[in-house]
Amino acid sequence: MAMKPTTHWMRFAVALLAGPVMFAAGPVKLLNVSYDPTRELYQDINAAFARQWKAKTGVDVEISQSHGGSGKQARSVIDGLQADVVTLALAYDIDSIAEHAHLLPANWQTRLPNNSAPYTSTIVFLVRHGNPKHIGDWDDLVRPGVSVIAPNPKSSGGARWAYLAAWGYGLKKNNGDDKKAQQFVTRLYRNVPVLDSGARGSTTTFAQRGIGDVLLDWENEAFLALDELGKDKVEVVTPSVSILAEPPVAVVDRVAAKHGTTQVAKAYIEFLYSGEGQEIGARHFYRPRSPEVAAKYASRFAHVQLFTIDEVFGGWQKAQKRHFDDGGVFDQIYLEGK
Amino acid sequence: MFHRRFYEARAKGRAARAFFPPRIARGAMWFGLALTVLLVPAWAQSPDQQTATQAAAQTTDQKLEQLQQKVDELDQAVKVAQRKQELAEEAAAEKAKTEATVTADTSGFTIRSPGGNYLLKIGADLQLDNRTYFGTGAGSDIDSLVARRVRPTFSGTIYKYIDFMFRPDFGQGTTAIYDAYAQLNYLAWANLRVGKFKPPVGLERLQSDDDTTFNERGLPSDLGPQRDIGYQLSADLFKRRANYAVGVFNGVPDASIGTDTAVSDHRDYAARIFLTPFLPDEGVLQGLGFGFGASGGNTDGEALPAFKTFGQQPFFTFASGVTAAGHRTRLDPQAYYYLGSFGLLAEYALNEEGFQKSGVRREIAFRAYQAEVSYILTGEKKSFASPTPRKPFDPLHGGWGAWELAARVGDWEAEKGIYSYGLASSSTSPRHLHEWVGGVNCYLNRLFKVAADYGKTDFGGGAVNSNKLPERIILLRFQINFI
């Protein structure tokens, strides 16, 4: 039976109207743009949050992850990568997004507790089994013949923390003598044969390619490598002094608003502060903020004297400008080292 | 018993030889002997000798340790070099994802974004003509070297779906914009073009000037629009078996590029359908194409058309006081056929155009046709586009480019009324032209072409004085084109 033209047009109109409705009823999609070693952490966080969000609202949420060197990731967001949420290695990178792309307000860091850093970490050493070069503290890294693997501070957030940790140690050892601290860090980077662009790349260089005697690494990344490679291959050495790394998180307001995901994006990063979120972080060797969870997982984390970037360097803006901007101290010492 | 042992031992020996090749077996024997020679004196050593031996062993150990250290260092150095190479390759791959590529080759100079969504091509169309006229040499038909076309070309793509083209011309002492348009290619069946470009009417006009078989187009192109400003929808359909184009334009006089502004509220409507029904693998008719172009509009306020010979000489002058006014219709049946190196192109143009003199409007019919035939001697395939030489010009290495012979016959005619209505004078303007052209083309490579044409145009239809002596010309062209 032939269809009447009016019926045909009505069906067309219904399809046209129903399309967006059906689309709107699909899962909410978020993109979390993060730094290099958080892949495994956010796989677990995403699954847990999706379950919780579904139970709470009845809506499915699909969270995609993007990983890379923290500075590189920030540049991608500035250049248009549609991140609803950023979880980067350091506040300076999110500041850059706020400053250059105006995608979130300048005071983003005050919107959540603990400077918007739901977990912390620090820089430790990963050495080969048996610690054949007898590496125990920062001084051992500047010895001739010790090969140190570290990523490039120009592109990696973890590398910047590692560099500043070494500088802080240099200052402490030399009673605050800045020049001697610089000499110390120069000697250290002279022992670095390869600069990877991110922490995960450095782990590959050290663990899979068998290069170097010691890897300067995020604590969580070092323990992950220990788990994966086995205690018969590598060991974690915690130095006497290191830096309190505070990887921050933020909703990218304008992108989330454009996608209509502001509410779920906020809930997502707040979930990181929840008991479950903190537990997941601790299981992945991120130091929890929650005192209860921290007490529960205290045995996982070695005692180390930690200093903050504000205490020693006056905050990220100053540290970035002096050490990591083009022509900064890192450029000078790395060229000098070469 | 002895024999049994002997055979057993011999059998074992064979088995051992099977396991250890003779060279290794011999090596083991000599090693055993050497060990014996070395060890026997050691047993017989004095305490001093033993100390010396221990010292020597220690030195050997140290040397071995040093050697091991050097091997380790070398191993690290190799691994570091390999890793650096790996990182450099990763960085290059990453760079390739985000950085534009710049290429310079036979298709011109190109800047392309990763993924090709943004593209800029810089090209050029340069033609230097040497015109040699035979005959009186009177008037403007003087022998000359002419920069016929000097056209830098900027074309490309933005936002993936939008192509653009900008091509001015600085040839013959003038500056004019020939092409300036953008084309939205979002729908495969309807590409929208906006700007200044060739309206879809004449076949040879739509052929790029660097692809035409002869140095100047045939007489039907005298009766069609050259460039105009407007909108056009066009597309290839049915696996390129058909192409359609429809458009609305300001309207320009015949063979004109217009003034880039409209001269009246009227618009020209143009349409063309062209069929190539046989796909490339569908036998001897695969090179057949035929179609029909047409336009209609109003000529009010337009300039009068200026018709030119093959030698680019104006041959027709309207009478004083004549203006363009009224309706204009252009009809243009057209076809080509290519088979191997052989090519045939034919086109007919029929126009009816309105003119006015002393308040009286008349419509005059113009007709023109051409038929051209060509053959590429060096075996390349003839098509609507220029051939690519199998062996670019390089005589020392056996390359002579592609050589082509071609001939064309054409005719142009205005109806008799053009005299009787007083729109032109039979004593100054012929109303009939007949031309034939023979040519040799040498495509030295994809970019450079040298072409020599001999053309003869006879004039007729008017009074004795307007039927001037035939125009005979040798037109030599040097052409560089990359786009």
pLDDT of residue B54: 86
Q: How many angstroms separate the CA atoms of B192 and B42, rounded?
A: 99
CB burial readout A24-41, b (16+ within 10 A) else e: eeeebebbbbbbbbbebb
The pTM of this model reads: 0.62
Domains in chain B: boundaries:
123-482
Q: How many angstroms separate the CA atoms of B74 and B66, rounded?
A: 12
Our CA-based measurement puts residue B64 at a distance from the nearest CA of chain A, in whole angstroms, of: 18
pLDDT of residue A284: 94
Q: From the candidates A72, A200, A205, A215, which should be mutated to test the interface with B, based on the most B CB atoms within 10 A? A: A205
Q: How many CB atoms lie within 10 A of CB A146?
A: 17
CB distance B114 to B97 below 8 Å: yes
State the amino acid at position B31 in one-letter form.
F
First to last CA, chain B: 98
Average pLDDT over residues B136-146: 73
Tell me which chain A residues have a C-beta less than 8 angstroms from the C-beta of B80: 193-194, 211
Q: How many angstroms separate the CA atoms of A188 and A277, rounded?
A: 36
Q: Which helix (H) or strand (E) holds A64?
A: strand A61-68
Q: Which helix (H) or strand (E) holds A334?
A: helix A329-337
Average pLDDT over residues B95-105: 82
Tell me whether residues A209 and B79 touch, CB distance under 8 A. yes
Residue with tokens 């991608």: A76
Tell me which chain A residues have a C-beta less than 8 angstroms from the C-beta of B79: 209-211
Q: What is the pLDDT of residues B300-333, one digit of tens each?
A: 989 999 999 999 999 999 999 999 999 999 999 9
CB distance A37 to A200 below 8 Å: yes
β-sheet bridge partners, residue A307: A243
Tell me whether residues B82 and A209 touch, CB distance under 8 A. yes
Average pLDDT over residues B373-393: 95
For residue B364, give Cα distances in angstroms to A284, B264, B326, B330. Answer: 89, 21, 11, 12
Indicate the burial class of B116 (C-beta count within 10 angstroms; 0-12, 13-18, 19 or more): exposed
Tell me which chain A residues have a C-beta less than 8 angstroms from the C-beta of B65: none
β-sheet bridge partners, residue A96: none
pLDDT of residue A23: 42
Beta strands A214-218; A123-128: pairing state: antiparallel
Q: How many angstroms separate the CA atoms of B26 and B383, rounded?
A: 77
Q: How confident is the model at residue B5 (pLDDT cuts 50, 70, 90)?
A: very low
Residues 204-243 of A with CB under 8 A from B: 205, 209-212
DSSP string spanning B375-387? EETT-PPP-SSPP
CB distance B141 to B468 below 8 Å: no
Of the candidates B79, B90, B91, which has its C-beta nearest A211's C-beta? Answer: B79
Of the candidates B79, B90, B91, which has its C-beta nearest A210's C-beta? Answer: B79
Q: From the candidates B71, B73, B74, B83, which should be mutated to test the interface with A, based on the most A CB atoms within 10 A? A: B83
- Tokens matching residue B192: 């929208």
- Does residue B32 surpass a pLDDT of 60? no
Q: How many angstroms separate the CA atoms of A191 and A194, rounded?
A: 9
ipTM value for the complex: 0.71
Residues of chain A with pLDDT under 50: 1-6, 12-24
Homologous superfamily assigned to B123-482:
Porin (2.40.160.10)
CB burial readout B225-260, b (16+ within 10 A) else e: bbbbbbebbbbeeeeeeebbbebbbbbbbbbbbbee
Helix axes B22-43, B2-19, angle to 10 degrees: 100
DSSP assigned state of B371: E
Radius of gyration of the CA atoms of chain A, in A:
23
Share of residues in chain B with pLDDT > 90 (%): 67
Q: How confident is the model at residue B6 (pLDDT cuts 50, 70, 90)?
A: very low
pLDDT of residue B72: 85
Of the candidates B83, B90, B91, which has its C-beta nearest A211's C-beta? Answer: B83
Q: What is the pLDDT of residues B155-201, one digit of tens each?
A: 999 988 999 999 999 999 999 999 999 999 999 999 999 999 999 99
Q: Which helix (H) or strand (E) holds B440?
A: strand B432-443
**3-state SS class at A205:** helix
DSSP assigned state of A206: I
Q: How many angstroms separate the CA atoms of A271 and A278, rounded?
A: 9
List, in sequence order, the alpha helices (H) in A191-252: 199-203, 219-229
Q: How confident is the model at residue B15 (pLDDT cuts 50, 70, 90)?
A: very low
pLDDT of residue B36: 53
Our CA-based measurement puts residue A82 at a distance from the nearest CA of chain B, in whole angstroms, of: 16
pLDDT of residue B244: 97
Residue A134 CA, distance from chain mean position: 29
Indicate the burial class of A276 (C-beta count within 10 angstroms; 0-12, 13-18, 19 or more): middle
CB distance B42 to B34 below 8 Å: no
Tell me whether residues A194 and B87 touch, CB distance under 8 A. yes
pLDDT of residue B311: 94
DSSP assigned state of A245: B
Beta strands A61-68; A28-35: pairing state: parallel
pLDDT of residue B142: 86
Beta strands B176-187; B190-197: pairing state: antiparallel
Q: What is the pLDDT of residues B47-60, one digit of tens each?
A: 788 888 888 888 89
- Find the residue in B nearest to A213 (Cα): B76
Q: How many angstroms separate the CA atoms of B295 and B318, rounded?
A: 23
Our CA-based measurement puts residue A194 at a distance from the nearest CA of chain B, in whole angstroms, of: 7
Q: What is the pLDDT of residues A2-38, one digit of tens each?
A: 444 445 555 544 444 444 444 445 789 999 999 988 9
Q: How confident is the model at residue B4 (pLDDT cuts 50, 70, 90)?
A: very low
Q: How many angstroms separate the CA atoms of B269 and B247, rounded?
A: 6
CB distance B129 to B477 below 8 Å: yes
Our CA-based measurement puts residue A212 at a distance from the nearest CA of chain B, in whole angstroms, of: 7
Q: HEC states along A72-103?
A: HHHHHHHCCCCCCEEECCCHHHHHHHHHHHCC
Of the candidates B80, B90, B91, which has its C-beta nearest A193's C-beta? Answer: B80
Q: How many angstroms separate the CA atoms of A91 and A120, rounded?
A: 12
| Degrees to nearest 5, angle at CA B149 with B147 and B151 | 125
- Find the residue in B nearest to A210 (Cα): B79
Cβ-proximal residues to B105 (8 Å cutoff; 6+ apart), any chain: none
Quote the mean pLDDT of chain B.
Answer: 88
Closest of B181, B280, B288, B294 to residue B245, by C-alpha: B294
Q: How many CB atoms lie within 10 A of CB A184?
A: 21
Establish how many alpha carbons lie within 13 A of residue B219's alpha carbon, considering only the half-sphere containing its beta carbon.
Answer: 31
Closest of A121, A161, A96 to residue A38, by C-alpha: A121
Helix axes A39-57, A262-271, angle to 10 degrees: 120
Q: How confident is the model at residue B26 (pLDDT cuts 50, 70, 90)?
A: low
Q: What is the pLDDT of residues B391-437, one digit of tens each?
A: 999 999 999 999 999 999 999 999 999 999 999 999 989 999 999 99
pLDDT of residue B91: 81
CB distance A238 to A138 below 8 Å: no
pLDDT of residue A20: 40
Q: How many CB atoms lie within 10 A of CB A294?
A: 16
Q: HEC states along A175-192?
A: CCCHHHHHHHHHHHHHCC
Closest of B122, B200, B116, B127 to residue B157, by C-alpha: B116
Of the candidates B76, B84, B91, which has its C-beta nearest A147's C-beta? Answer: B76
Cβ-proximal residues to A117 (8 Å cutoff; 6+ apart), any chain: A91, A246, A247, A248, A249, A289
DSSP3 helix / strand / coil % (chain A, rounded to 5): 55, 15, 30
